[in-house]
Structure formats: structure tokens, C-alpha cells
Homo-oligomer: A and B are copies of this chain.
């Protein structure tokens, strides 16, 4: 077995679209101001587009309008979502799994995106969610002590809870704590580690001979929560299908898991993939917590937010007011407009902003003000909610336990 587990590609999948875009779990870089070419990424990764038919079916099955993150193509790609909808239509259970690598004490605006969709999916489908904090990964990849990464995991968990997840349907866990609390999780790690060779992780993740052995076996840790038996308290040992909403750079882990799952008697996990949340400076890179200037943290004050957007948000407008009025702005590269597609829920208002900015009727400063006015209350509400999450509440969410479902 020397071929790639997922799609038969033999070379390392440092995905390069036109030798320009790089997309893997550690790097997202595009040469285009418009960002990564997602159509090409779908072809290269072998996933399916979230097309109108799927969105219509979503609405038919749930009886609710589809979330704007799906409506607008921010979640744009999937694997086996129809199977999950079949499952739901047949009255059978599934569960959600998503995660976060805790690399800083404060999460940023982009980190919210998968959690916002997950919260909506939890409400609409009434399903449990497991949320993995890969503090072990952060230690292995970065110069961070275990204690420090573990502390950040708990800080990040507060931000995640503040998105509004139902305590009765949500289990959040740190790898450094949970693996050592759950023999079934470790057993699933071993089952997965037995099915994947060094050649395969080399092909999928680009690992090399000088990588530490912790990195090489880590993909099994991120894959294990896609098996319901990794959570005996929740699923009582039953095999329940899993749906994983995540940014598309995390897909390699789950392509690997989709290859392994049937070999160890499980259904392949389904996926919903999001685009990346662009950096303030432009869509060539995604927002990153390690560069404060490109990043709006969930802890930023209204003043910091305003300053960052006004100073750093890449503009699609023209250099002078006169020129802008005449030629109009370019929404495809304008970061303020891009952010509004993530956070402004009203479609009509968004459409009008696009029209006015493109025509030149709306100036860059005005567009930035709309973004500031949209995001400020989101940040403030988040901060208020987060402030109420005591250590006791945090502990409840992070305690392995039965949730509000009888499996």
C-alpha cells in the first residue's frame, strides 16, 4: 500500500492550484486577491459542490430556510451530505463533530464560522455535537508546553460555548485530558493507527523523515472522534453516523478517515467544507491568530475593531473619491464586503451594498462603517456571553457524560 489512501494521488498533497494556491492543514496561501480558487479545490480534493439541489433538499427536510453560510456558498463543498439527510429523513440519529487547534488564548472572528454553522445544525436537526480541542497537536507542531496548550484549550472552550451550544447536546474535550479519560478513545486511535502507513501520511500530509513521531501518528487522534464509539458516555457503544463541518484545509484528516472507516466496521464520516475567512489585508491568506494586525480577536474592544478595519481592511475601492464615484469598487477583493457576507444576515441589504459599492454610490469609508456597525454588536454580545461562562459551566460542558439522547 504505497498509494494515497483517499484518492490515489501519489505525490504529497500540498495542493497547488495552477501551482499558485497552497491549501493544507497548516498553510493556506493564494496568489490571487480573490483568494483560493474553490472550484479547482473541489476537483482536486474530489469532494462535491453544495449545489442548489442540496440546499433545496436541506430546506425540504428541515422545513427551515437554509443558513446564510450555506446559502452564500461560504460552506461550498461536501462529502456524503445526502446520506446524512437520508438518515435524518428515516428518523435515524447522526451527530456532529468539529474541532479547534488552540494556538492562542483568544480566538478570532474567522474561528467562529464552523461553530456558527454547527450551532445552527444542532438546533435544526436536534443532534449532539462533540468538539475536539487539539492541544496535543499544538504541542507537537509548535514550541508550546503541554500545560500552556491545555490552558489555551480551556480558554477557547469558553469562546465556543459563547456561540450558544446547548449544554444538554454538547461535549467539548481537550485531547490532553480526554484521551487519558477514555480507554475507548485510545482503542480507536490504535485501530486507526493500524490502518495507515507512513507512506500514506507522507502522501496526505507531506510528512517527512525528520518529522517527529508524534506528528506522524497525530492524524489518528483527529480522526478518532469521527467514530461514535470514542464517546461511550454519549453513544453507549452504538455506531452512529458522523457529520463534520470544518474549513476545507482540514479535509485531509477526514479523507484519510473515510478510507479507514469501512475497514474497521464504520460508516464513512460525512463532511461540510467552508471557505477560509480572509485576513484583513486581503484574501491571499486566511486570518491567523499569530499576526495581530491581520486579525480581529473576539476580545477586541469596539475601538480596536474600528481601528483595525479602518486601517488594515483591504479595499476594493479606488484611490480617490472622484475615481471611486466614477469607476466603482470591486466587491470580489474588498475585505469589508467579504466579511459582510459572513456576518450580515439580511440578503436584500447585502445585495444593495454590493450594487452600491460596485456602482460607486457607496464609498469605502461608508462600507467600512457598515461592517463596523455589523460586527461591533456581534463582538459585544459574544463578550457578554463569554463573561458569564464560569469555570463551573465550563467544567459541565467538558465533563464526559450522557447527553440528552437515549442511544
Residues of chain A at the chain B interface (Cβ within 8 Å): 1-2, 136, 139-140, 146, 176-177, 179-187, 190-191, 193-199, 201-202, 207-214, 216-217, 219-220
When all copies of this chain in the complex are counted, the total is 2
Contact across chains for A210 and B199 when beta carbons are under 8 A apart? yes
Candidates B198, B219, B220; contact of A198 at CB < 8 Å:
B198
Q: Within the assembled complex, what's the spacing in Å between the Cα atoms of A209 and B196?
A: 11
Using known A-B contacts A197-B212, A198-B208, A213-B201, determine if residue A190 contacts B220 with beta carbons closer than 8 Å. no
Please report whether the interface of chain A is mostly helix, strand, loop or mixed according to DSSP. Answer: helix
Q: Which residues of B contact A199 (CB under 8 A)?
A: 209-210
Q: Which residues of B contact A207 (CB under 8 A)?
A: 198
Nearest residue (CB) in B for A188 is B146
Q: What's the minimum C-beta distance from A177 to chain B, rounded to whole angstroms?
A: 5
Contact across chains for B210 and A2 when beta carbons are under 8 A apart? yes
Determine which residue in A182, A187, A213 has the highest number of CB atoms from chain B within 10 A of its CB, and name it: A213
Candidates B179, B196, B202, B210; contact of A212 at CB < 8 Å:
B196
Q: List 27 contacting pairs A-B, 8 Å CB cutoff, sorted by A.
A: A2-B209, A136-B186, A139-B194, A140-B190, A140-B194, A146-B190, A146-B191, A176-B186, A176-B190, A179-B179, A179-B180, A179-B186, A180-B182, A180-B183, A180-B185, A181-B183, A193-B214, A195-B212, A198-B208, A198-B216, A213-B217, A213-B219, A213-B220, A214-B217, A214-B220, A216-B216, A216-B217
Using known A-B contacts A187-B176, A191-B146, determine if residue A198 contacts B210 with beta carbons closer than 8 Å. yes
Nearest residue (CB) in B for A191 is B146
Q: What's the minimum C-beta distance from A148 to chain B, rounded to whole angstroms?
A: 12
Q: Within the assembled complex, what's the spacing in Å between the Cα atoms of A185 and B179?
A: 10
Q: Which residues of B contact A217 (CB under 8 A)?
A: 193, 213-214, 216-217
Determine which residue in A198, A199, A211, A220 has the highest number of CB atoms from chain B within 10 A of its CB, and name it: A198
Contact across chains for B198 and A209 when beta carbons are under 8 A apart? yes
Question: Given known contacts A186-B186, A197-B212, what 10 new A-B pairs fall within 8 Å (CB)?
Answer: A146-B191, A177-B183, A179-B186, A180-B180, A180-B186, A181-B183, A193-B213, A193-B217, A196-B213, A198-B216
Nearest residue (CB) in B for A135 is B190
Nearest residue (CB) in B for A1 is B210
Q: Which residues of B contact A210 (CB under 8 A)?
A: 1-2, 197-199
Contact across chains for A181 and B181 when beta carbons are under 8 A apart? yes
Q: What's the minimum C-beta distance from A259 to chain B, rounded to whole angstroms?
A: 13
Q: What's the minimum C-beta distance from A186 to chain B, rounded to whole angstroms?
A: 4
Determine which residue in A186, A194, A217 has the highest number of CB atoms from chain B within 10 A of its CB, and name it: A186
Q: Within the assembled complex, what's the spacing in Å between the Cα atoms of A402 and B212?
A: 34
Q: What's the minimum C-beta distance from A389 to chain B, rounded to whole angstroms?
A: 23
Q: What's the minimum C-beta distance from A249 to chain B, rounded to whole angstroms?
A: 21
Contact across chains for B190 and A214 when beta carbons are under 8 A apart? yes
Q: Which residues of B contact A212 (CB under 8 A)?
A: 193-198
Nearest residue (CB) in B for A2 is B210
